Amino acid sequence: MTEAHGAAHAEALLREWTNNESLVKHGLAVAACTESYGVREAERLGLTGAEADKLAETYRCAGLLHDFDYDRHPTPEEHPFVGVAYLREHGWPEEVLHAILAHADYTGVKPESHLDRALFACDELAGFLTACALVKPSRSISDVEVSGVRKKMKDKGFARAVKREDITLGAELLGISVEEHIGNCIAAMQGKAAELGLGT
């Protein structure tokens, strides 16, 4: 991935296309979670140094860009197709584009690669964890625990727009338990709490 297609550029695109600050924060949260799976995957593959960093950055870019066109093009007819067409035109890697298409269950593109599965798994969960943090008196992700998240998942009235089945399926696709997946994403978001506006 060239510098032109790195995380800094991906974040700049997200901010350029998105006026809604909550959507920007969502992109950053999904990026944090997805990147953490890129780090794990690099370890699993035995990658080190620049190679490991490059893989993790690819995962981060997919997270940053998965909804970057949503503010301008929120309908299923346009999102994420408009964004993907723009990214393809500007030379972004196909693996990132495939993951973006696969994160929406109506595109006809199935999550195949580990990157696809990680992005799909992190999208709804990152939003849910943000909601869990914001109802805490501290509004901090550091006060969110796996057991509390599991409890909230059973409360149909809480963050009802979040598809619980996508969180469960996402963990399945990654071959881990829902609890482990939640724990991984809480840790990833805690590492970027200040950037996400969810504590220090």
Q: Answer yes or no: pTM beyond 0.95.
A: yes
Kindly tell me if the per-residue pLDDT of 1 is higher than 60: no
- Calpha distance 200→193 (Å, rounded): 6
What stretches of the chain show up as alpha helix (H) in DSSP? 7-17, 21-44, 49-65, 81-89, 94-102, 114-134, 146-154, 164-174, 178-190, 193-196
Mean pLDDT of 23-46: 98
Q: Which domains does the chain have, with CATH numbers?
A: 3-196 (1.10.3210)
Q: Which residue, among 6, 28, 62, has the nearest Cα to 193 in the 3D structure?
A: 28
Confidence of residue 3 (pLDDT cuts 50, 70, 90): low
Query: C-alpha angle with apex 22: 120 to 197, nearest 5 degrees?
Result: 100
Instruction: Give 146-184 pLDDT, tens digit per residue.
Output: 999 999 999 999 999 999 999 999 999 999 999 999 999
Mean pLDDT of the chain: 96
| Residues of the chain above pLDDT 70, percent | 98
Residue bearing tokens 């881990």: 176
Confidence of residue 4 (pLDDT cuts 50, 70, 90): confident
Residue bearing tokens 């298409």: 101
Q: Which residue has the higher pLDDT, 49 or 3?
A: 49
Instruction: Give 54-107 pLDDT, tens digit per residue.
Output: 999 999 999 999 999 999 999 999 999 999 999 999 999 999 999 999 999 899
